[in-house]
Structure 1
Amino acid sequence: MRLLQIVVPVGKRDGVERVLSDNEVDYFLTDETSGRDYAALVFVPAGPEDVEALVDELRAIGIEREGYVTVGKLETVLSDRFERQQHDGPTNGSAVEETDGRIAREELRARAAAVAPITPNYVVFTVVSVIIATAGLLMNSAAVVVGSMVIAPLIGPAIAASVGSILDDDDLFRTSVKAQFVGLLIAVASAAAFAGLLRATVMPHADLHLVEQVAERINPGALALVVALGAGVAGAISLTSTTSVALVGVAIAVALIPPAATVGLGIAYGDLTAAVSAGVLVLINVLSINVASLGTLWFQGYRPEHWFAEQSARRAVARRAALLVAAVLVLSSVLVVTTINVSENTEFERTVAEITSETDARVLSTDVSYRMELFLRHPTTVTVRTVGGSTRTAAALRERIRTRTEQDVTVVVLRENGEVSTARPSRSSSTAEFARPNSPTVTAPGLDGRHLTAGVA
């Protein structure tokens, strides 16, 4: 519910009463006695879907130029008559159909303007959010990463920029775009500073590619685009309705905060692959959020209040939407490449599982290690834990994997008695190494740069 308070200038009282009567709304009018150039003060309780039509008609008779119209939230109305009017009024149904129950244009602008600027709280919440996300990524904790998104304030500028475009408000648009750019810059810088501190103290040799939460942002698939587009649509709808903006803001933070933290990690640890890959993901997500929110607001029917500004807004929206869509399509080619690579690796793992199941040993587990490159992952090592098997199992598996997948990888077989056999790629014939229980064990780099012993418990 909304409460309109109308300060009526002298000479406009009859016009205001006519507008309210024609719309068949209840109102309460009192004479203005302060001695200023106002004739009356009117209170109008109304539904959110009725406000825009009423404000437009009041603007048409000059209230905006000489008086005031304020719109506030109305929590409760104790009136049977008002309830009947809301449910049975002849104009209510058409108003809901015309506006889809959305809030008025003026209220949307006010809400967007309130969340668009760069404020101290915006900066503090961004810094705290990305530091928590960075810690969560290094801990490989999805719960901590999700928790960081709850306090991220990035939804405001992302949606407010679209509101500025739709309503032909250049000041709001510029303020919001600046806030988005500064917010992401602060996020990346904060993550890099925090990760740099960790690298200089407790985690000097962290291998980012071995952390699952980080690897997801280094090699994202095409579904990441779906997340960003959905977040943009949800964010726009939340701003135009009574849905909690803070709650929907988590969806937008999902698309921005963890990738920005990954960029900071890549910078701090000198990992160009992580920094560039996650940076491209951030760009794709922020552009997708903007284009999705822009389209949502347009299809909801929002337009500037003046007809002559609508043409200007239409051209601006079309131009900005075209630029955003073109940029998203170009950058999304990276996601297509990554998605194809992920599909190929999945097929490789399935084939390897089939091959290992055909050995004479009982297979306990099969793991595949990858080498991370820009937007791509390439299998390098297949580790098989078995009960039984011969000393030639690794060489045989490597040859069969190479034949069926055309991937020449290192194969390590760990037997239950502690014996380790390894077959590595070679330029000539396949080679195999066999290690007795007392010989050196196979090692793999750990998160902190030390080596983890590969063996069977």
Structure 2
Amino acid sequence: MRHIQVTIPTGKRQAVLGLLDEEGIDYVVTDESSSREYDAVVSFPLPTSAVEPVLDSLQEAGVQAESYTVVVDAETVASRQFDELQAEYATESVEEEQISRQELLTQANELTPTFSVFFTMTLISAIVATVGLLLDSPAVVVGSMVIAPLIGPALSASIGTVVNDREVFFTGMRYQFVGVAGGIVAAAIVAWLFQSMLLVPPGIEITEIDEISERIAPELLLLPVALGAGAAGVLSLATGFSIAIVGVMIAAALVPPMAAAGIAIAWGLPVAALGSTVLVLVNLLGVNLAGLVTLWYLGYRPGSWFEISTAQRQFLKQITVLVLVIALLSLFLTGITYTSYQVSTFEETATQEVEAVLAEYDDATLLEIDVEVRDGGAPLDSSFDATQQIDVVIIEVGGSPGLYDEELIATLETNINQHADDDIAVQVRFVTTGERS
């Protein structure tokens, strides 16, 4: 519920009160004597879903140009007429909980701090994420998401499009892209400093750190995370749900990949840096795409009817651009996903071959198998064979002392390589698992 206060311009009193009577709205009128521009102040309660249509009607009645309107939350309204009005606007759907277009713009502005604050907080979140990734600490990475102020600009761009406010749109886009670029640079500088000051072990393989590896070789399945974050962010903003929780989800799609890209740059891994940067861009555009579609689906439009066609053209244009760019960048993620699938399939096949060979040995057991892939670019076409990028297959075999058998090693190497186009190095490590008698 909302409580509305509207100043009535001189000469508009009869039109405004007649409109409220026609809508069946309880109101209180106070004469205004502080200025000749206003005749009175009218106050009245409204269901949340009725705010936008009533305010639009009042603007058509002439209260927009020379007056101001205040909308505040109302905890309780005791009125039979208000109960009837609430029943009239009850829809048993999400529309019943939606805030007005005017409140939506206000919320977006409140969630977007000044640029200096936004940029500083984004840099801090990227630095904290960098530390969390290098420490392989999910808790620290989550902490970096909490302080990231990304939700406001991410949603402002979409809101600016659907209500045809180009200033809001361009401000949101500028914040997002400058913030992401700054975050990657800050992460790279901090990671380089940590490396130079020996705060991380020399020779550390960042590709073996779980929190980093999943973000420098991203897969297409990460795109739905961004789409879900954008849709949930808009729904939260439009219905008054906990926006802070969804803000963390949006930050989860952007902050860790930013930090991973910076770390890859500091370690001199251009392919890994490219993978993380593509993931950041895909997620960023995915959040905007989902937010834009959700807002349009919820029915948000400009206040003036002649602006609707302009907003619709901008909506279609922006949707087309976002879909095309996301599709193009997703080719990269698709290539990585396909490569990962091929490597996983090869590893499963190799495991079956090893188990079949070891089944002939009573005292030999497969402890672990690891397939290592050479550093290389992600393929962009489905004809690529990931087995050509496999560097070595490491097999760990457990058994009694003296299990070492050159014939066993040769058999494993032959059986595994028959599933690859190129020769793959096979290393067999024997581990004593029994006790000496």
TM-score by length of 1: 0.85
Q: Is the 8 A contact 2:8 2:16 kept in 1?
A: yes
Partner SS state of residue 26, structure 2: coil
- Of 235, 250, 253, 1:252 maps to 250
For 1:370, the equivalent position in structure 2 comes to 373
Q: What RMSD in Å do the two structures reach over aligned CA positions?
A: 2.1
Partner SS state of residue 331, structure 2: helix
For 1:60, the equivalent position in structure 2 comes to 60
For 1:339, the equivalent position in structure 2 comes to 337
Q: Which amino acid aligns with 1:287?
A: L
Mapped pair 1:49 → 2:49? yes
Give ranges in structure 1 of 5+ residues lacking alignment: 419-457
Q: CA deviation at 1:253?
A: 0.9
Rounded to whole Å, the distance in 2 between the matches of 1:387 and 1:267 is 40
**1:356-415 C-alpha deviation (Å, 9 max, x unpaired):** 212122122222222232236733222222223442232221111011344532222222
Mapped pair 1:391 → 2:394? no
Rounded to whole Å, the distance in 2 between the matches of 1:142 and 1:121 is 26
Structure 1 window deviating more from structure 2 (138-147 vs 61-70): it is 138-147
Identity of aligned residues (%): 36
Structure 1 window deviating more from structure 2 (151-160 vs 136-145): it is 136-145
Give the direction of change, closer, same or farther, for the CA distance of 1:89–1:262 in structure 2 (3 Å limit). Answer: closer
- Of 104, 108, 114, 1:112 maps to 108
Q: CA deviation at 1:144?
A: 2.0
Give the direction of change, closer, same or farther, for the CA distance of 1:87–1:337 in structure 2 (3 Å limit). Answer: farther
Rounded to whole Å, the distance in 2 between the matches of 1:295 and 1:188 is 28
Q: Is the 8 A contact 2:162 2:296 kept in 1?
A: yes
Q: Is the 8 A contact 1:276 1:374 kept in 2?
A: no
Rounded to whole Å, the distance in 2 between the matches of 1:413 and 1:209 is 23
Q: Is the 8 A contact 2:370 2:395 kept in 1?
A: yes
Q: Is the 8 A contact 1:31 1:41 kept in 2?
A: yes
Rounded to whole Å, the distance in 1 between the matches of 2:68 and 2:85 is 30
Rounded to whole Å, the distance in 2 between the matches of 1:35 and 1:390 is 99
Q: Which has the higher helix share?
A: 2
For 1:189, the equivalent position in structure 2 comes to 185
Q: Is the 8 A contact 1:49 1:99 kept in 2?
A: yes
Partner SS state of residue 26, structure 1: coil
- Of 405, 411, 417, 1:402 maps to 417
**1:324-356 C-alpha deviation (Å, 9 max, x unpaired):** 111111111111111111111111111122122
For 2:352, the equivalent position in structure 1 comes to 354
TM-score by length of 2: 0.89
For 2:97, the equivalent position in structure 1 comes to 101
Q: CA deviation at 1:303?
A: 0.8
**1:61-93 C-alpha deviation (Å, 9 max, x unpaired):** 11011222121223x22x4426x8347745222
For 1:34, the equivalent position in structure 2 comes to 34
Partner SS state of residue 383, structure 1: strand
Q: CA deviation at 1:118?
A: 4.2
> What does 1:169-248 align with in structure 2 at a 5 Å threshold?
169-202=165-198, 203=200, 204-248=202-246
> What does 1:304-319 align with in structure 2 at a 5 Å threshold?
304-319=302-317
Q: CA deviation at 1:60?
A: 0.5
Q: Which amino acid aligns with 1:92?
A: Y
Rounded to whole Å, the distance in 1 between the matches of 2:378 and 2:294 is 31
Partner SS state of residue 270, structure 1: coil
**1:423-454 C-alpha deviation (Å, 9 max, x unpaired):** xxxxxxxxxxxxxxxxxxxxxxxxxxxxxxxx
Structure 1 window deviating more from structure 2 (354-363 vs 368-377): it is 368-377
Q: Is the 8 A contact 1:395 1:411 kept in 2?
A: no
For 1:444, the equivalent position in structure 2 comes to none
Partner SS state of residue 90, structure 2: helix
Q: CA deviation at 1:141?
A: 2.1
| Number of equivalences | 414
Q: CA deviation at 1:207?
A: 2.2
> What does 1:277-296 align with in structure 2 at a 5 Å threshold?
277-296=275-294
Give the direction of change, closer, same or farther, for the CA distance of 1:18–1:158 in structure 2 (3 Å limit). Answer: same
Q: CA deviation at 1:308?
A: 0.8
Give ranges in structure 2 of 5+ residues lacking alignment: 380-385
Q: Is the 8 A contact 1:116 1:175 kept in 2?
A: no
Q: Is the 8 A contact 1:401 1:407 kept in 2?
A: no
Q: Is the 8 A contact 1:131 1:194 kept in 2?
A: yes
Partner SS state of residue 192, structure 2: helix
Q: Which amino acid aligns with 2:301?
A: R
